[in-house]
Structure 1
Amino acid sequence: MSDARPEAGPDARPETGPDAHPESAAPAGCPVAAAGPTPALFSWQFAADPYPAYAWLREHAPVHRTRLPSGVEAWLVTRYPDARQALADARLSKNPVHHSAAAHGKGKTGIPGERSANLMTHLLNIDPPDHTRLRRLVSKAFTPRRVAAFAPRIQELTDRLIDGFAQRGSADLIHEFAFPLPIYAICDLLGVPAEDQDDFRDWAGMMIRHGGGPRGGVARSVKKMRAYLAELIHRKRADLGDDLISGLIRASDHGEHLTENEAAAMCFVLLFAGFETTVNLIGNGTYALLRNPAQRELLQKSLAAGDTDLLTTGIEELLRYDGPVELATWRYATEEMTLGGARIAEGDPVLVVLAAADRDPARFTEPDVLDLTRRDNPHLGYGHGIHYCLGAPLARLEGQTALATLLTRLPDLQLAAEPDELRWRGGLIMRGLRTLPVEFTPEPS
Structure 2
Amino acid sequence: MQNTAETGPDDLIDVTQLLDDPHAGYAVLREAGPVHRIAGPDGQPAWLVTRYEDVRRCLSDPRLSLDKRNARGGYRGFALPPALDANLLNMDPPDHTRVRRLVAKAFTPARVEKLREPVRRLADGLLDAVADAGRADLMECYAGPLPIIVICDLLGVPEDDRPDFRAWTDALITPDPARPERAKEAVGAMMRYYTGLITAKRAAPGDDLLSDLILVRDGAAAEGGAGDRLGEDELTSLAFLLLFAGYENTVHLIGNSVLALLDHPEHLMALRTNPAELSAAVEEFARYDGPASLAIRRFPLEDVEIGGVRVPAGESVLLSLASANRDPHRFADPGTLDPGRDATGQLMFGHGIHYCLGAALARLQTETALTALISRFPGLRLDVPRSELRHRRTLRARGLISLPVAW
What range describes the TM-score normalised by the shorter chain of this pair? over 0.9
Match of 1:156 in 2: 121
Select which of 285, 288, 303 maps to 1:318. Answer: 285
Q: Could you tell me how far 1:397 is from its partner in structure 2?
A: 0.6
Q: 2:134 aligns with which of 138, 150, 169?
A: 169
Matched, 1:75 2:47: yes
Q: CA deviation at 1:267?
A: 0.3
> Using the alignment, how far apart are the partners of 1:123 and 1:421 within structure 2?
38
Count residues in correspondence: 397
Whole-Å Cα distance in 2 between the matches of residues 381 and 302 of structure 1? 25
Q: Give 2:5's aligned residue.
A: 31
Task: Note if contact 1:31-1:341 (Cα within 8 Å) is conserved in structure 2.
Answer: no
Kept in 2, the 8 Å contact 1:364–1:377? The answer is: no
For 1:364-383, list aligned pairs within 5 A: 364-383=331-350
Distance 1:118 1:53, change over 3 A: same
SS of residue in 1 equivalent to 2:54: helix
CA distance in 2, matches of 1:265, 1:241: 19
Following TM superposition, by how much is the alpha carbon of 1:364 offset from its aligned partner in structure 2, in angstroms? 0.5
Match of 1:90 among 62, 73, 80: 62
Shift of 1:329: 1.0
RMSD in angstroms over aligned alpha carbons?
Answer: 2.0
Aligned residue number for residue 269 of structure 2: 297
Which whole-Å CA distance do the structure 2 matches of 1:265 and 1:188 have between them? Answer: 18
Between the aligned partners of 1:186 and 1:210, the Cα distance in structure 2 is 22
Q: CA deviation at 1:394?
A: 0.5
1: CA distance between counterparts of 2:405 and 2:388?
Answer: 13
The answer to whether the Cα contact below 8 Å between 2:296 and 2:318 also exists between their aligned partners in 1 is: yes
Taking the aligned partners of 1:311 and 1:212, their CA distance within structure 2 comes to 38
| Distance across 1 between alignment mates of 2:395 and 2:195 | 29
Structure 1 residue 101, shift from structure 2 partner? 1.6
Partner of 1:258: 230
Shift, 1:211, TM fit:
7.3
Residue 48 of structure 1: how far off its partner (Å): 3.5
SS at match of 2:299: strand
Separation in 1 of the partners of 2:145 and 2:103? Answer: 23
- Alignment of 1:130 onto 2:102: no
CA deviation after TM superposition for structure 1 residue 156, in Å: 1.8
- Look up the match of 1:202: 167
User: Counterparts of 2:297 and 2:116 in 1: how far apart (Å)?
Assistant: 32
After the TM superposition, which of the residue ranges 383-392 and 426-435 deviates more from structure 2? Answer: 426-435
Q: Deviations over 1:235-279 (max 9, x none)?
A: 111222221111111112233331221111000011011110001
Task: Measure the CA separation in 2 of the matches of 1:291 and 1:39.
Answer: 32
Query: Which string of whole-angstrom CA distances, capped at 9 and with x for unpartnered residues, describes residues 141-166 of structure 1?
Result: 10122212222221122111111211
Paired residues for 1:167-316 under 5 Å: 167-210=132-175, 215-252=180-217, 253=219, 254=222, 255=226, 256-303=228-275, 308=276, 310-316=277-283
SS in 1 for 2:356: coil
1:63 aligns with 2:35: yes
- C-alpha offsets along residues 66-104 of structure 1, whole Å, 9 cap, x if unaligned? 1124221101111000000110011110001111126xx
Q: In structure 1, which of residues 114, 117, 136 is the aligned counterpart of residue 80 of structure 2?
A: 114
Match of 1:437 among 398, 401, 404: 404
**What residue is the counterpart of 1:3 in the other structure?**
none
Alpha-carbon distance in 2 for matches of 1:328, 1:159? 33
Q: How does 1:386-425 map to 2 (within 5 A)?
A: 386-425=353-392
The alpha carbon displacement at 1:42 in A equals 2.8
Q: Which runs of 5+ in 2 are unaligned?
A: none
> Quick one: structure 1 residues 376 and 62, their matched pair in 2 at CA, closer, same or farther if it must change by over 3 Å?
same
* Residue 47 of structure 1: how far off its partner (Å): 2.6
Identity fraction in percent: 45
Change (3 A) 1:248 1:400: same
Distance 1:211 1:385, change over 3 A: farther
Query: More displaced, 146-155 or 131-140?
Result: 146-155
Answer whether contact 1:358 1:379 (CA < 8 A) is retained.
Answer: yes
User: Match for 2:392: what amino acid?
Assistant: R
Deviations 1:120-157 (A, max 9, x none): 11000010000000000111110122212222221122
In the TM superposition, what is the alpha-carbon distance from 1:222 to its structure 2 partner? Answer: 1.6
Question: Is 1:142 equivalent to 2:107 in the alignment?
Answer: yes
2 CA distance for matches of 1:375 and 1:209?
Answer: 33
In 2 relative to 1, CA 211–404 (structure 1 residues): closer, same or farther, beyond 3 Å? farther
Secondary structure in 1 matching 2:77: coil
* Cα deviation digits, residues 197-224 of structure 1 (max 9, x gap): 2221222232344278854211211211
Offset of residue 428 of structure 1: 2.6
Contact 1:212/1:428 (CA < 8 Å) preserved in 2? no
Offset from partner CA, 1:167-217 (integer Å, 9 cap, x none): 101111111111111011100000111222222122223234427885421
